[in-house]
Amino acid sequence: MSGAYGPLPRKEDARFIRGRGLFVDDITLPGMLYGAILRSPLAHARIVSIDPAAARAHPRVEAVLTGEELAELGLAWMPTLSQDTQAVLATDKVRFQGQEIAFVVAQDRYSARDALELIHVEYEPLPVVVDAERALEPGAPVIRDDLPGKADNHIFDWEAGDKAATDAVFATADVVVSQDMLYPRSHPAPLETCGIVADMDRVSGRLTVWSTSQAPHAHRTIYALVAGIPEHKIRVISPDIGGGFGNKVPIYPGYICAIAGAMTTGRPVKWVEDRSENLMSTSFARDYHMHGEIAATAGGRVLALRARVLADHGSFNATAQPTKYPAGFFHIFTGSYDLRAAHCSVTAVYTNKAPGGVAYSCSFRVTEAVFLVERMMDLLARELGMDPADLRMKNLLRPEQFPYTCPTGWQYDSGDYPRALALAMDMAGYPELRREQAARRERGEYMGIGISFFTEGVGAGPRSHMDILGLGMADGVSLRVHPTGTAVLGVSCQTQGQGHETTFAQIVAHELGMSPGDIDVVHGDTDRTPFGLGTYGSRSTPVSGAAAAMVARKVRERARAVASAMLEVSPDDLEWAAGRWQVRGDPAQAAGIAEIAMAAHSALELPDGVEGHLDAEVVYNPPNLTFPFGAYICVTDVDPGTGQVTVRRFIAVDDCGVRINPMIVEGQVHGGLADGIGMALMQVIAFDAEGNCLGGSFMDYLLPTSVECPSWELGQTVTPSPHHPIGAKGVGESATVGSPAAIVNSVLDALAPFGVRHADMPLTPANVWSAIQGRRLRTDLAFP
């Protein structure tokens, strides 16, 4: 690898391997109190009365807040990231099991928990609706009667693509295949739950908040808007975060309660949720009920795609995505193929479930889109009697077609798709696998080979059409090179394990000929870093990474001017080589960044217009998304007697453009592939008819362990992004996006001899066995 790019061990590890990370629950402040939230056991009920008197009388309780107290502060309801409102503490009704009712502030966490039992709430149960289809039926219980004039559970309709053109193609196509499929509700479940320490200084009026936030600056602005505290008096600090995966993007009621508790008691208040709260009330992911259709020629040329989606948003619309895209980037469901036409429509609905929907490394619904198109491709292959690899190879976009504008408007920036698929097939030994499969079938053994080829759209996004709550998605970055030549890079994005302290140092080091060890990356503190929209949707490298490269280049240009003064030559006589500005034709006359930094801070006379010091700031507005892509192949073995699935092999070829740190890139891919196993085989947040959440603990919301995961086999191709300053595309979510379809396609390929056409995730043993018997299980609802 050239320059500072390469598999550099991480700088941040020094503290983590010693157990010296600083996570929110590690923070203790003098006089700190502990919060606990009372939550509704019912999914839909009117609140008749709340009596906190006994809790308030507990000797170790300092305060109990209910919706009533918060209403006086104007905090009982808060805006969501989707132009809806969400209750902080319920006032009129509860709308999902686990909804926040009251907030206890006590001297220790055990007493706070005890006091919850001393709050008496009387409920009047209401009919519950947890089935998205039933929620739209006339006569369904109206969940959001808090919205003036609201008489149903419909949220929005949205569509993309050319319906007429698409319908015309379908009408005359040789072959049309359609399929209902569910991407069930799941949850990111980072290992560290969400939490906050809120500290309000009554004298200065300053609010300091340590929280598990993937977007500290955005949170600061929202707190200013919601709590009426002047923004310059708010400091949001994200310390170390134990995994985010989109779960830590929203502002949760518990955060507002902790802030209100700090304001009320005058003491710092810590609130950290337990795991059941995390699973039951924080942002879930997916819950897309999809109907896909694919049109093709008899010879296997894919012509068009159509999709209709029923999107279950829970009881408040709190999805997090750019404003103009209420269904996120779902319309990238056109996938990686050369289509004539495509059209999708999404209808969103309220149900008596927790709010959320955009989370869990989905790249704003790209997970759903990729799953749909890749399942449809396999279904089409089966209909045509074609090998699924052949069908894909026949239809993949060709390199010469880039930049390619797909029928729903995305401009894919670059890619060599056939090469990636060929590499994956080569690594897998694809023909041998098919031969093995045939031989095993003769013996009554069932193995499957599944492919997923995905195109991601990440790095949101251009100000011209992307904002979240009106905040543009450009990222600021600042670089200061000190007189003695070491540097500090302030970034607005927020690592939760992605290794930014290392990779961002590598980016700057690469541009400035410095050692990454001489560059400190500062992040997570709104007082010490420039504004930006945070880390999610794989946007850190595409946006903040670009900003870091640009700010380093800005510093490099400033350094050129200073070097010209040091060396007494014209700036045009200098060229950048081997990490220094050197005189063209006389390389002995040169200066590196360290010397230039000292000179920039010295009394050296500088040319007109050139300021001293060696600092710079950049706000980077990306011109487009970036489009990482990949080819995944999964081999599974199915035991038809029990329905158990073993993932034997997983081959993943990823193209994320230029790789700053291949070790970190591979780690990101490994993690996402495990997500695929989880979603494909075991993870689901299901509900029963009463709205009881059946995935409220790790006993039922099962996460993959080291035993279920095979040893991942990784490959790569590199097609740099043409618009990104260093050609990088981002990779944080690619594997989560691409892997579930590969696993599901693999299992269904194994079950083909039984005539199983489709089964929904998770493919638990019961689900697989039932499918073999010809019975398709509903995985997300447990109705009698």
Partner 1 sequence: MQVPAHVEYEKAASVAHALDLLARYGPEARVLAGGHSLIPMMKLRLAQPETLIDINGLTELSYITVAGGELRIGALTRHAELLASAPAGENFAILHDAERVIADPVVRNWGTVGGSLCQADPSEDLSATFAALKATMVIRDPDGSRTVPAREFHTGPYETVVAPHEMLTEIRIPIRPGGGSAYEKVGRRVGDWPVGAAGAAIWLAGDTIADAGIGLTAVGARQFAAPEAEDFLHGAPATQESFARAGQIAAEHCRPSSDQRGPAEYKRHLASELTMRALRRAWRRAQDGDA
Partner 2 sequence: MPDMQITVTVNGSPFTREVEPRLLLIHFLRDDLGLTGSHWGCDTSNCGACVVWLDEIPVKSCTVLAAMADGRRVLTVEGLERRGRLDPVQEAFARCHGLQCGFCTPGMMLTARWLLDHHPDPSPAEIREALSGQVCRCTGYENIVRSVQWAASYEAGLDGKAGAPAGEATQ
- The contact set with partner 1 (CB under 8 A) reads 109-110, 113-114, 274-276, 641-644, 681-682, 686, 694, 699-700, 702, 704-705, 707-708, 764-766, 769-770, 777, 782
Residues 213 to 242: which contact partner 2 by CB under 8 A?
240-242
Position 648 contacts partner 2 (CB under 8 A): no
Q: Which does 503 bind (CB under 5 to 8 A by kind): partner 1, partner 2, none?
A: none
Which residue number, 286 or 343, has a Cβ lying nearer to partner 1? 286
Query: Which tokens sit at 63?
Result: 């305060």
**Contact pick of 315, 351, 498, 683 for partner 2 (by CB under 8 A):** 498
Q: How far is CA 416 from the centre of its chain?
A: 25
The closest alpha carbon to 748, from 417, 360, 452, 525, belongs to 452
Q: What are phi and psi for residue 497, nearest 5 degrees?
A: 130, 0
Classify residue 754 by its DSSP letter.
G
Q: Which does 347 bind (CB under 5 to 8 A by kind): partner 2, partner 1, none?
A: none
Candidates 24-32, 226-234, 308-316, 684-692 — which segment interacts with partner 2 by CB under 8 A?
24-32
Buried b (16+ CB within 10 A) or exposed e, 93-113: bbbbbbbbbbbbbbbebebbe
Contacts with 706 (C-beta within 8 Å, 6 or more apart), sequence order: none
Map residue 227 onto helix, strand or coil.
helix
- Exposure of 72 by Cβ count < 10 A (0-12 exposed, 13-18 middle, 19+ buried)? exposed
Q: Which does 694 bind (CB under 5 to 8 A by kind): partner 1, partner 2, none?
A: partner 1
Q: How far apart are CA 44 and CA 96, in angstroms?
A: 6
Q: How far apart are CA 742 and CA 746, in angstroms?
A: 6
Position 438 contacts partner 2 (CB under 8 A): no
Q: Which does 19 bind (CB under 5 to 8 A by kind): partner 2, partner 1, none?
A: partner 2
Instruction: Report the phi/psi class of residue 609: left, alpha or beta, with left for phi > 0 and alpha for psi in -120 to 50.
Output: left
Q: Which does 670 bind (CB under 5 to 8 A by kind): partner 2, partner 1, none?
A: partner 2
Which residue number, 514 or 771, has a Cβ lying nearer to partner 1? 771
**Sheet with strand 574-577: strands edge to edge:** 574-577, 580-583, 586-592
Q: How far apart are CA 215 and CA 220, in angstroms?
A: 9
Q: Which does 686 bind (CB under 5 to 8 A by kind): partner 1, partner 2, none?
A: partner 1
Site size toward partner 2 (CB under 8 A) is: 57
The closest alpha carbon to 253, from 76, 24, 42, belongs to 76
Residues 565 to 604: which contact partner 2 by CB under 8 A?
none
Q: Are 627 and 723 in contact, with CB atoms under 8 Å apart?
A: no
Q: How far apart are CA 444 and CA 465, in angstroms?
A: 55
The closest alpha carbon to 88, from 106, 65, 110, belongs to 65
**Contact pick of 667, 715, 722, 765 for partner 2 (by CB under 8 A):** 667
The closest alpha carbon to 491, from 552, 441, 440, belongs to 552
Position 663 contacts partner 2 (CB under 8 A): yes
Q: Are 626 and 721 in contact, with CB atoms under 8 Å apart?
A: yes
Residues 681 to 720: which contact partner 2 by CB under 8 A?
697-699, 703, 705-707, 709, 711-712
Query: Which tokens sit at 484?
Result: 């003695």
To partner 2, the closest distance from the beta carbon of 441 in angstroms equals 27
Position 5 contacts partner 2 (CB under 8 A): no
- Binding mask of the shown chain, residues 136 to 175, with x at each position contacting partner 2 by CB under 8 A: ----------------------------------------
- Binding mask of the shown chain, residues 59 to 98, with x at each position contacting partner 2 by CB under 8 A: ----------------------------------------
Position 674 contacts partner 2 (CB under 8 A): yes
Q: Which does 189 bind (CB under 5 to 8 A by kind): partner 2, partner 1, none?
A: partner 2
Query: Which tokens sit at 230?
Result: 């002047």
Q: How far apart are CA 339 and CA 128, in angstroms?
A: 42
Query: Which tokens sit at 241?
Result: 């975060």
To partner 2, the closest distance from the beta carbon of 255 in angstroms equals 19
Which residue number, 298 or 699, has a Cβ lying nearer to partner 1? 699
Q: Which residue ranges make up the site for partner 2 (CB under 8 A)?
A: 9-10, 12-21, 23, 25-26, 28, 109-110, 188-193, 240-243, 245, 274-276, 496-499, 663-664, 666-667, 669-674, 697-699, 703, 705-707, 709, 711-712, 735
